[in-house]
């Protein structure tokens, strides 16, 4: 089997796995609706309010986190180790 055929099989296997996951999510939604309809309605509303960011937004958020990590004081530097007697 050559590399192109292996990649084609792998691509289709991944797609089949994604479809299986979607089916399981739908089944879980139906079971959730039958067991607790009020909670299911709240869950669906929160699922619709999911935020999808653009690449620029992701880059900006990453920069904010990197700046925070750089400016964060190093708490470990001020701690001294204590000798323990045995």
pLDDT in the model for residue 50: 67
CA 30 to chain centroid? 23
19 or 71: whose pLDDT is higher?
19
Domain tally for the chain?
Answer: 1
Indicate whether 81 belongs to any domain: no
Q: Sign (positive/negative) of CA torsion 62, 67, 70, 71? A: negative
Domain that holds residue 64: 3-73
pLDDT in the model for residue 20: 95
Query: pLDDT digits over 31-76, tens only?
Result: 988 888 888 888 888 777 666 778 888 888 889 888 888 887 665 5
Indicate whether 85 belongs to any domain: no
Angle at 53 between CA 55 and CA 13, to 5 degrees: 85
Q: Is the pLDDT of residue 79 over 70?
A: no
Q: Considering the entire predicted model, what is its pTM?
A: 0.45
Dihedral Cα 12, 13, 18, 19, nearest 10 deg: 70
Contact 68/57 with Cβ under 8 angstroms? no
Q: How confident is the model at residue 23 (pLDDT cuts 50, 70, 90)?
A: very high
Q: Is the pLDDT of residue 77 over 60?
A: no
Indicate whether 86 belongs to any domain: no
Residue 63: burial class (beta carbons within 10 Å; 0-12, 13-18, 19+) = exposed
Indicate whether 15 belongs to any domain: yes
């Amino acid at each position: 089997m050559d590399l192109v055929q292996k990649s084609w099989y792998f691509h289709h296997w991944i797609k089949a796995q994604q479809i299986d996951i979607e089916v399981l999510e739908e089944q879980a939604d139906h079971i959730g609706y039958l067991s607790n309809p009020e909670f299911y309605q709240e869950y669906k509303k929160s699922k619709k309010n999911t935020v999808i960011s653009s690449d620029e937004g992701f880059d900006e958020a990453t920069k904010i986190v990197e700046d925070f990590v750089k400016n964060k004081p190093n708490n470990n530097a001020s701690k001294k180790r204590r000798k323990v007697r045995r």
